[in-house]
Structures are given as C-alpha cells and as structure tokens.
Amino acid sequence: RSSIDPGTLRERALDALTRARDRTALLTTCVEDPDLTAQHSPLMSPLVWDLAHIGNQEELWLLRAVAGREAMRPEIDGLYDAFEHPRAERPSLPLLSPDEARRYAADVRGRALDVLESAPFEGHALTEAGFAFGMVAQHEQQHDETMLITHQLRRGPQALTAPDPAPAPPYTGPSEVLVPAGPFTMGTSTEPWSLDNERPAHQREVAAFHIDALPVTNAAYQAFIEDGGYDEERWWTPEGWAHVRTHGLRAPLFWRRESGQWLRRHFGVTEAVPPDEPVLHVCWYEADAYARWAGRRLPTETEWEKAARHDPATGRSRRYPWGDADPTPEHANLGQRHLRPAPAGSYPAGASALGVRQLIGDVWEWTSSDFLPYPGFTAFPYKEYSEVFFGSEYKVLRGGSFAVDPVACRGTFRNWDYPVRRQIFSGFRTARDA
C-alpha cells in the first residue's frame, strides 16, 4: 500500500504522462519527416517506430488491460511488438507515417486521460497506486532516451540544443569513500511505481569496500588510452580483448584524434573532449579494462546500491542518495535539461550519506554484475519487461544518465545491456576491496 493519497498520485500520473509526451514531441519535431523514417544506425529503430510503439504500448496497457477496451487498430500490433521484429528490420516494415503515428499516439492519449480520471487506484493490482500509468510514463521516457541516442548517432547538423550544466566548484573531497561492512536492504517493496525487477526489498551482507567518490572522467580515461591501455591484453577479459581487436576500438565511441587532440562528435557538433566530464559512450569491456589498469575493479550492483542508499546513521536504505525527497535540479542532472553530463564534482546536494557524488543522473554506470532476479522476484505485469532478459548475457547499469527522466530513476532502478554496447549514455566509477 502506498502512503501517498490517490488524488495526489492521480495528479502525479497526469504530470508524468504529460511531461513524457512533451519530450516525445520535441524529439520527433526537431527534425524533418525523412529523418523520422530513416534508420540512422542498425542498432536503432527509425524514430517513427518509437513514436508509434509508445502509443501502441499505452493502448495495450491503459486502454485494453486497464479499461477493457477493444483494439483500436489490431493490424498494427505486430509491427510495434519489439519481440517480433529486431531493430535492424523495422525500417522495411509498412510502418505508420509520421503523421499517422502522431495522430494514433494522440488519439490513444486522449482516451488514456479519460481512463485515468476514474481508474481505481486501490484494490486492483495493475492500477494500485496508479502503477499502470506510472509504468506507461516510464516506458515512454525510456523510449525518449532511446530516441535521444538515435539523435546522437544521426549524421548531419545539430537539431537539439540545451544549456550546458553550470561549471562545478572545485571538488576538494576524498577520491574514494569507505562503505562499511554489514547488512543492507536492497530493492524495494514500497516504491509505488517501481518495476518488477527492483522488487522485493531483501537483506544483503556486504563486505567493506571503497568506491570512487566521483565518476571516472574523460581526462582519467585519456590517461588509460595514452598509457597504451587498448594495446595491452592484460587489462582485458578474453571476450573484451577479442572484441577490441576485432572491431579496432581505440577510444570511446564518437571520439577521434586530430593534431594530437581528442575531439568528439556530440549531437551534431564536433568539440574538444571536455576533460572534467564523466566519460561517456564506453562499453562494459572498456570500463572493466580501465578499472584493472587503475588497480581497481567495477563495483558489484549490490555495492553500487549500498553506496547510493545506505544511511549508516540509521541503517536504513534511502530512496535516493540524498534522502527520500524526489529529485530537484539541485540534486542531479536528469531529464534532458542538459545534453551532456555535468563535470565530475557537481551536485554537492545530491551526495549520498557517505559522500559519494553523482550516483543519480549524468551517466549510466556499468557494474560488474549480470542482470539477475532478486530472491522472491515475480514478473509483473509482463515477462517481457525483465524476466526474459535475466541471465549472464546482460550487465547491469545503475543511476541513470542526463537523458533519464526522474519518473524512471530511483536508487533501486535497474538498467541492463550487452557488454559490447556503447551508443548508450554509459560511463562508470571504480571500487576496491577494503
């Protein structure tokens, strides 16, 4: 049971859905229609697929599952089922045109808002505390991040702009923080819109460890490159070594070296790689190799969450590093307010109880852990959100990037991807045994 009253939750759901749709509109109107139907990378869908898929999932969950309505356009369900067609195949499908997709998504939304007015927020699993509405808003925001990745991969002039984060005051704290040994509560059984893989809350024993107070920066990563990190097999796992050799990786995605300087292409603009920003667009193999080179290792997922949530004064796990309050712009770089991570050492107000900074927002952080269910996991409301991905193929990322909306980000939130992926907004921090 949520302690927040149903009226407030209903307003929050409306607000989250509206914010997601405003962002979707921005991401699908800042370029002309040919850029919506084109495939900018075989790793990604055409933007117009994401747009109609967002509407289709909203129809499936809010209109059909919650309100028991008939399918509006049963013939399109297969086109927008992510499991029926891999991304690379989607451009060749008879997809809705940009105008049709916009109209369909808007039509679904109009009806979904009617459903929201009267859906029972108590006594029904799917709508308890507004869950289905929160889930649909999170789904749209996740695809908005996916679409932002497509924008980053797109060739051509800049289409999106946002103010840069404020320069960080110099960070004078310690480079790493000791997280003491002892039990800690991982996951949640009370967060009303948490997704199935975050549940249930359970106790874990964690040995003492040290974790970086800040994410690894571009300058630090450059030192690894310049020390020959990509040429030395000893830093890499066998799979990682095979991967960098086969694909000729020499630096993070989007970087190139010119006249002795590292440049990168960032949302259509070539810029010098900013030394103080958290490193972005590295795969798990690169993060893991850097950590070994530095004499350290990636944190486990459990260690990451303990560093983020454990309050040694009370023994409690908090919702966020800074406490239980929802994120504000003072706490973290979230919601695509900026189109880049903030310099390492930013957001003192977002520090954890132990003083670890920037765990939420800025860059997704690779952990050493495989994506596995917690003890007592039950798939809800569908196996295809998490359950079908459990196993050793995927590594867990934590904390969310600058492109994650607050509705889809919590101390317990789990993301996952293949260890070779680096078009995502991924970085990392390192740890060591105490």
Closest CB to ligand AVJ belongs to which residue? Answer: 142
Is 35 labelled a binding residue? no
Q: How far is the CB of 422 from ligand AVJ (least distance, A)?
A: 15
Is 88 labelled a binding residue? yes
**Rounded CA gap, 287 and 330, in Å?**
28
Is 87 labelled a binding residue? yes
Residues sharing a CB contact under 8 Å with residue 164, sequence separation 6 or more, in sequence order: 338, 340
Q: How far is the CB of 155 from ligand AVJ (least distance, A)?
A: 23
Residue 278, SS3 per DSSP: strand
Q: Choose between 104 and 394: whose C-beta lies nearer to ligand AVJ.
A: 394
Is 417 labelled a binding residue? yes
Inter-residue contact 218 to 277 (CB < 8 Å): yes
E strand or H helix that includes residue 178? strand 176-179
Q: How far is the CB of 139 from ligand AVJ (least distance, A)?
A: 6
Is 432 labelled a binding residue? no
Residue 271, SS3 per DSSP: strand
Q: How far is the CB of 351 from ligand AVJ (least distance, A)?
A: 26
Residues near ligand AVJ (CB under 6 A) are: 139, 142-143, 146, 385, 415-416
Q: How far is the CB of 168 from ligand AVJ (least distance, A)?
A: 28
**Rounded CA gap, 85 and 81, in Å?**
7
Residue 105, SS3 per DSSP: helix
Q: How far is the CB of 256 from ligand AVJ (least distance, A)?
A: 28
Is 139 labelled a binding residue? yes
**Rounded CA gap, 1 and 250, in Å?**
51
Give the residue ranges of DSSP H helices in 207-297. 218-226, 238-247, 284-293
**Rounded CA gap, 395 and 232, in Å?**
23
Q: Choose between 69 and 383: whose C-beta lies nearer to ligand AVJ.
A: 383
Q: How far is the CB of 60 from ligand AVJ (least distance, A)?
A: 12
Residues sharing a CB contact under 8 Å with residue 116, sequence separation 6 or more, in sequence order: 10, 13, 14, 17, 62, 133
Q: Can you read off the two tokens belonging to residue 70?
A: 């008939």
Q: Choose between 65 and 294: whose C-beta lies nearer to ligand AVJ.
A: 65
Inter-residue contact 152 to 164 (CB < 8 Å): no
∠ Cα 316 318 322 (to 5°): 125
Q: Choose between 171 and 382: whose C-beta lies nearer to ligand AVJ.
A: 382
Q: Choose between 81 and 107: whose C-beta lies nearer to ligand AVJ.
A: 81
Is 90 labelled a binding residue? yes
**Rounded CA gap, 164 and 288, in Å?**
29
Q: How far is the CB of 146 from ligand AVJ (least distance, A)?
A: 6
Q: Choose between 86 and 167: whose C-beta lies nearer to ligand AVJ.
A: 86
**Rounded CA gap, 407 and 340, in Å?**
19
Q: Choose between 12 and 139: whose C-beta lies nearer to ligand AVJ.
A: 139
- CA 62 vs. chain centroid, Å, equals 23
Q: Choose between 139 and 264: whose C-beta lies nearer to ligand AVJ.
A: 139
Is 89 labelled a binding residue? yes
Is 265 labelled a binding residue? no
Residues belonging to the binding site for Fe cation are: 53, 139, 143
Residues belonging to the binding site are: 53, 87-90, 139, 143, 417, 421
Residues belonging to the binding site for gamma-L-glutamyl-L-cysteine are: 87-90, 417, 421
